[in-house]
Chains A and B, each alone.
Chain A
Amino acid sequence: MADLTSNFVGIKSPNPFWLASAPPTDKAYNVVRAFKAGWGGVVWKTLGEEGPPVVNVNGPRYGAIWGADRRLLGMNNIELITDRPLEVNLREIKQVKRDWPDRAVVVSIMVPCEEAAWKAILPLVEETGADGIELNFGCPHGMSERGMGSAVGQVPEYVEMVARWCKQYSRMPVIVKLTPNITDVRHSARAAVKGGADAVSLINTINSITSVDLDTMSPEPSIDGKGSHGGYCGPAVKPIALHMVADIARDEECKGIPISGIGGITTWRDAAEFLVLGAGNLQVCTAAMTYGFKVVEEMKSGLSQWMDEKGYTSVDQVSRRAVPNITDWRFLNLNYVAKAKIDQDLCIKCGRCYAACEDTSHQAIAMNPGRVFEVIDAECVACNLCVNVCPVENCITLEPMAPGTTDPRTGLVVEPGYANWTTHPNNPSAVAAE
């Protein structure tokens, strides 16, 4: 069995799966259930400053989109930070950490962007014995209208400033949670690095309207006929999150800052993808909210099985393993030529590849008598659309052409070796090949 124990910026947990700061971690009852179910740690739902707690809407907080068979693909929410009194949360955090010393308990915090506010809350949190803090610079709804959450995360200078305060007034590891609602996440991440943060976590939720009720004309979730944007999460956001994690992982100015990967992690495979693209551990919310805490069992067994199969013995060996393969488009090998290939034994003759290619791509699939679909190599640009629309996994594959063979589409011999756009003759800015 692969060793799944995790040490993320000095915070130890028996596995790399933490529950993200969200409704599932709002109180001891849920967190204890999560630990019993096997979660490695939690980020306690965001605490606000002392005083009257925030007030939530009294109608629906979540909207959703669904795929086939009503599988939940994406969800958004308009819930605010914890609406329980600060002292209740602090008391419960302290108790839970005492009862579950081997689990990671990190506390999410969001107070006004003033030094005094941060200075006031940090000792209270530290006193609980929590393992670290996560700065909520990401929530895109409600709190952001009051100058907190993503309103901070969208200004790199604020990110740096608050991170610095937290390092100054606390001995705890500081994780800065980033918002995806920006043009380039690297700027926020670099600011966190400059402020001395120990790690970043991302992504927080994405500004979204999930749907509109076409009878009432109200966006969902609808509060008395009106809706505001919410934060989008779940499987649908995973590709966006992966890109942002990878962007930070390969950014030199981010100096390899540890990343807690968040965004639609639903299976062990999602988790492994986050790890290899740069994450050091993982945070999960929507999968637990959809299926219950038990899902962590599959995530752990799957990750462990895959690591065993590949010979990886620790999470650290897996982390960042694909980072060297993330590159810019201009560095992609233009000598790599592939062709789609249809496995006739697996083909169920639905013709979706044909419709997609004929209507919207390169007319590179022939529909022969008997509904036999075959790739026309002389037209195929290997775009992968047929692969993507085929309902049968591995029925259509892209097969690379061997160097020295002739591509019937271009009439050119497939060159060995590597050549990219920077040296391509069609590139007006091409530089001479070295």
Chain B
Amino acid sequence: MADTQMTPGVIAGRLPPDAYAENFADLHPPLDRHEAAVAADRCYFCHDAPCITACPTDIDIPLFIRQISTGTPESAAMTIFDMNILGGMCARVCPTETLCEEACVREAAEGKPVEIGRLQRYATDTLMDRPHPYTRAKPTGRTVAVIGAGPAGLACAHRLAMLGHGVTVFEARPKSGGLNEYGIASYKTPDGFAQKEVEWLLSISGITIRHNKQVGRDISLATLRKDHDAVFIGIGLGATNALDIEGSDLPGVEDAVDFIARLRQSDDPATLPIGRDVVVIGGGMTAVDAAVQSRLLGAQTVTMVYRREAERMNASLFERELAQTNGVRIITGAVPVRVTGQNRVEAVEFAYAVQDGGALRPGPDRFTLPADQVLRAIGQSMVPITNDPADAIEQDGASLHTGPGGRTTPHGYVFAGGDCTATGENLTVTAVAQGRDAAMEIHATLMGDG
């Protein structure tokens, strides 16, 4: 008898074979031309538009929407890419409901914002089917090392290449893209879009990527500084916060980011083992991505448990509702106290949290959730690439410290951006903005204006 959602244990193929393609299809299918025209018509072309202010990359949203509505999505795409070279990915993964679309005046007027994200995708999809639109400036003879081929590094590298600098990117993983490739739910960026976007971006030329090169292990920051005119650090957050409770080392307990990465790197989700009862601990985007995908892989029950109230979750209301619509149960105000099981995880015991001064601690009310798989999504932190005092990088256990333009202090030629820095909200779009701005700062510095 074939396995089903009810089958105990962590197994693959719980669902009928044809269910997977449907489950992992595009969350927001692309608008067709007519739909785009209708959606674009709703934009009021606001003065000093709130959506622009809300966009970390400052895309001129009313302008690009007007360009769509007048039948020039290619021009619209240039308006987007000029500010955000990863505008294609951001159109798919940005939590627009907490950024541009939340600020849209039609959200105030009718509770229904202009569909900015989907319009951005319409424009960027149109142009990304064409040859790369940017060309390089005359070579400057300067070279820059970029550490990390995630959104920050790629945005920085592209802008530097465009300005005529030679760029070498050092990436620890075998593929470029960072979280776009490894860390975001499949249904947000299906059909290999992350890799297609990288290829499209690199076709500007002038950028060399060296994969499987981890700075700090395979090559030192000091070497990079010596060999290049400037260095940009965009390494993201490589470590996950530990779940420091009894039984958390039992087999079946793992990091949600690893689970998501495995899913993203798989060609066939039907081959991926998933528990019958999955418990996800955490309240951010990663937790939602892991929980929803657990359900989509066929888990019978998926429960997300977050320690504080729902409003304080990093996952937006849209994300929480997406989870609930997909059958994920969300429990708030509870903390895990113990993972139990004989040889592997069988259950997680939780306590409803009580306030103790400023801190949360487990209270007396307890409950136990059966679990054959537990996914930790309780935050990530930076893995330092150097602890050499000579590098004089200001950092703490969680992130790098940067000044304006991503400048690390006090060094003039080492810059940083993206999730590894203490600024921003750990979003793709924020990382792109910081990578781009750092590139401009590097350019100004190298060309003598800075």
Partners in one complex: yes
**Could you tell me if B47 and A348 are in contact, using CB atoms closer than 8 angstroms?**
no
**Could you tell me if B105 and A348 are in contact, using CB atoms closer than 8 angstroms?**
yes
Bound: A69/B108 CA distance, A: 21
**Could you tell me if A348 and B41 are in contact, using CB atoms closer than 8 angstroms?**
no
For A358, give the chain B residue with the smallest CB separation.
B47
Q: Mark A350-376, 1 if CB is under 8 A from B, else 0.
A: 111011000000000001000100000
**Could you tell me if A349 and B48 are in contact, using CB atoms closer than 8 angstroms?**
no
Q: Is A392 part of the contact surface with B, judged by Cβ < 8 Å?
A: yes
Q: Is B109 part of the contact surface with A, judged by Cβ < 8 Å?
A: yes
Given contacts A69-B38, A371-B50, whether A348 and B45 have CB atoms under 8 Å apart is no
Most chain A beta-carbon neighbours within 10 Å: one of B44, B46, B47, B49: B47
Bound: A355/B48 CA distance, A: 9
For A70, give the chain B residue with the smallest CB separation.
B37
Q: Is B329 part of the contact surface with A, judged by Cβ < 8 Å?
A: no
Q: Is B106 part of the contact surface with A, judged by Cβ < 8 Å?
A: yes
For B37, give the chain A residue with the smallest CB separation.
A70
Bound: A351/B108 CA distance, A: 13
Bound: A350/B38 CA distance, A: 19
Q: Is A116 part of the contact surface with B, judged by Cβ < 8 Å?
A: no
Q: Is A123 part of the contact surface with B, judged by Cβ < 8 Å?
A: no
Most chain A beta-carbon neighbours within 10 Å: one of B45, B46, B106: B46
Bound: A329/B48 CA distance, A: 37
**Could you tell me if A350 and B46 are in contact, using CB atoms closer than 8 angstroms?**
yes
Bound: A354/B45 CA distance, A: 12
Bound: A70/B45 CA distance, A: 18
Query: Chain A residues with Cβ under 8 A from B109's Cβ?
Result: 348, 391-392
Q: Mark B342-371, 1 if CB is under 8 A from A, else 0.
A: 000000000000000000000000000000
Query: Chain B residues with Cβ under 8 A from A432's Cβ?
Result: none
Most chain B beta-carbon neighbours within 10 Å: one of A70, A350, A371, A391: A350
**Could you tell me if A349 and B50 are in contact, using CB atoms closer than 8 angstroms?**
yes
- Set B37, B41, B44, B48: member contacting A391, Cβ < 8 A: B44
B62 to chain A, nearest CB (A): 10
- Set A69, A352, A367, A371: member contacting B45, Cβ < 8 A: A352
- Set B38, B41, B42, B47: member contacting A352, Cβ < 8 A: B47
Q: Is A433 part of the contact surface with B, judged by Cβ < 8 Å?
A: no
**Could you tell me if A349 and B41 are in contact, using CB atoms closer than 8 angstroms?**
no
Given contacts A354-B47, A355-B47, A371-B50, whether A349 and B37 have CB atoms under 8 Å apart is no
**Could you tell me if A352 and B37 are in contact, using CB atoms closer than 8 angstroms?**
no
Q: Is A412 part of the contact surface with B, judged by Cβ < 8 Å?
A: no
Q: How many residues of B contact A (CB 8 A)?
A: 15
For A390, give the chain B residue with the smallest CB separation.
B44
Query: Chain B residues with Cβ under 8 A from A350's Cβ?
Result: 44, 46-47, 105
Q: Is A88 part of the contact surface with B, judged by Cβ < 8 Å?
A: no
Q: Is A57 part of the contact surface with B, judged by Cβ < 8 Å?
A: no
Given contacts A68-B41, A69-B38, A70-B37, whether A351 and B106 have CB atoms under 8 Å apart is no
Most chain B beta-carbon neighbours within 10 Å: one of A68, A348, A354: A348
Query: Chain A residues with Cβ under 8 A from B45's Cβ?
Result: 352
Query: Chain B residues with Cβ under 8 A from A69's Cβ?
Result: 37-38, 41
Bound: A69/B48 CA distance, A: 24
Query: Chain A residues with Cβ under 8 A from B44's Cβ?
Result: 350, 352, 391
For B109, give the chain A residue with the smallest CB separation.
A348
Q: Mark B22-43, 1 if CB is under 8 A from A, else 0.
A: 0000000000000001100110
A71 to chain B, nearest CB (A): 9
For A353, give the chain B residue with the smallest CB separation.
B47
Bound: A65/B234 CA distance, A: 51
A127 to chain B, nearest CB (A): 51
For A346, give the chain B residue with the smallest CB separation.
B109
Q: Mark B96-116, 1 if CB is under 8 A from A, else 0.
A: 000000000110110000000
For B39, give the chain A residue with the smallest CB separation.
A69
For B42, give the chain A residue with the smallest CB separation.
A68
Bound: A367/B109 CA distance, A: 19
Bound: A422/B46 CA distance, A: 42
Bound: A69/B41 CA distance, A: 6
**Could you tell me if A348 and B48 are in contact, using CB atoms closer than 8 angstroms?**
no
Query: Chain A residues with Cβ under 8 A from B106's Cβ?
Result: 348
For B41, give the chain A residue with the smallest CB separation.
A68
Bound: A154/B108 CA distance, A: 52
**Could you tell me if A351 and B47 are in contact, using CB atoms closer than 8 angstroms?**
yes
For B40, give the chain A residue with the smallest CB separation.
A68
B261 to chain A, nearest CB (A): 42
B131 to chain A, nearest CB (A): 22
B34 to chain A, nearest CB (A): 9
Query: Chain B residues with Cβ under 8 A from A352's Cβ?
Result: 44-47
For B48, give the chain A residue with the smallest CB separation.
A351
Bound: A392/B46 CA distance, A: 13
Bound: A367/B48 CA distance, A: 10
For A392, give the chain B residue with the smallest CB separation.
B109
For A351, give the chain B residue with the smallest CB separation.
B47
A169 to chain B, nearest CB (A): 54
Bound: A68/B106 CA distance, A: 16
**Could you tell me if B38 and A349 are in contact, using CB atoms closer than 8 angstroms?**
no
**Could you tell me if A348 and B37 are in contact, using CB atoms closer than 8 angstroms?**
no
Bound: A348/B50 CA distance, A: 11
Query: Chain A residues with Cβ under 8 A from B49's Cβ?
Result: 351
**Could you tell me if B108 and A348 are in contact, using CB atoms closer than 8 angstroms?**
yes
A348 to chain B, nearest CB (A): 4
Bound: A367/B50 CA distance, A: 13
Bound: A350/B113 CA distance, A: 12
Bound: A350/B46 CA distance, A: 5
Bound: A349/B50 CA distance, A: 9
Bound: A70/B38 CA distance, A: 8
Bound: A350/B43 CA distance, A: 10
Query: Chain B residues with Cβ under 8 A from A349's Cβ?
Result: 46, 50, 105, 108
For A68, give the chain B residue with the smallest CB separation.
B41
Query: Chain B residues with Cβ under 8 A from A371's Cβ?
Result: 48, 50
A139 to chain B, nearest CB (A): 33
Which residues of B from 43 to 72 have beta carbons under 8 Å from A? 44-50
Bound: A354/B46 CA distance, A: 10
Query: Chain A residues with Cβ under 8 A from B105's Cβ?
Result: 348-350
Query: Chain A residues with Cβ under 8 A from B50's Cβ?
Result: 349, 371
Bound: A351/B103 CA distance, A: 13
Which residues of B from 99 to 142 have beta carbons under 8 Å from A? 105-106, 108-109
Query: Chain A residues with Cβ under 8 A from B41's Cβ?
Result: 68-69
B354 to chain A, nearest CB (A): 38
A212 to chain B, nearest CB (A): 14
Which residues of A from 375 to 434 have beta carbons under 8 Å from B? 391-392
A235 to chain B, nearest CB (A): 17
B223 to chain A, nearest CB (A): 50
Bound: A403/B37 CA distance, A: 49
Bound: A349/B103 CA distance, A: 10
Query: Chain A residues with Cβ under 8 A from B48's Cβ?
Result: 351, 367, 371
Bound: A95/B292 CA distance, A: 69
Query: Chain B residues with Cβ under 8 A from A348's Cβ?
Result: 105-106, 108-109
Query: Chain A residues with Cβ under 8 A from B47's Cβ?
Result: 350-352, 354-355, 367
Bound: A56/B41 CA distance, A: 36
Q: Mark A153-194, 1 if CB is under 8 A from B, else 0.
A: 000000000000000000000000000000000000000000
B35 to chain A, nearest CB (A): 11
A279 to chain B, nearest CB (A): 33
A80 to chain B, nearest CB (A): 33
9 contacts between A and B (CB under 8 A): A68-B41, A348-B106, A349-B50, A350-B47, A351-B46, A351-B48, A352-B46, A354-B47, A367-B48
Q: 13 new A-B pairs (CB below 8 Å) besides A348-B109, A351-B46?
A: A348-B105, A349-B50, A349-B108, A350-B105, A351-B47, A351-B48, A352-B44, A352-B47, A354-B47, A355-B47, A367-B47, A371-B48, A392-B109
For the complex of A and B, the 9 pairs showing the least CB-CB separation, nearest first, are A351-B47, A355-B47, A68-B41, A348-B105, A348-B109, A350-B46, A350-B105, A348-B108, A350-B44
Question: Which chain A residues have a beta carbon within 8 Å of chain B's beta carbons?
Answer: 68-70, 348-352, 354-355, 367, 371, 391-392
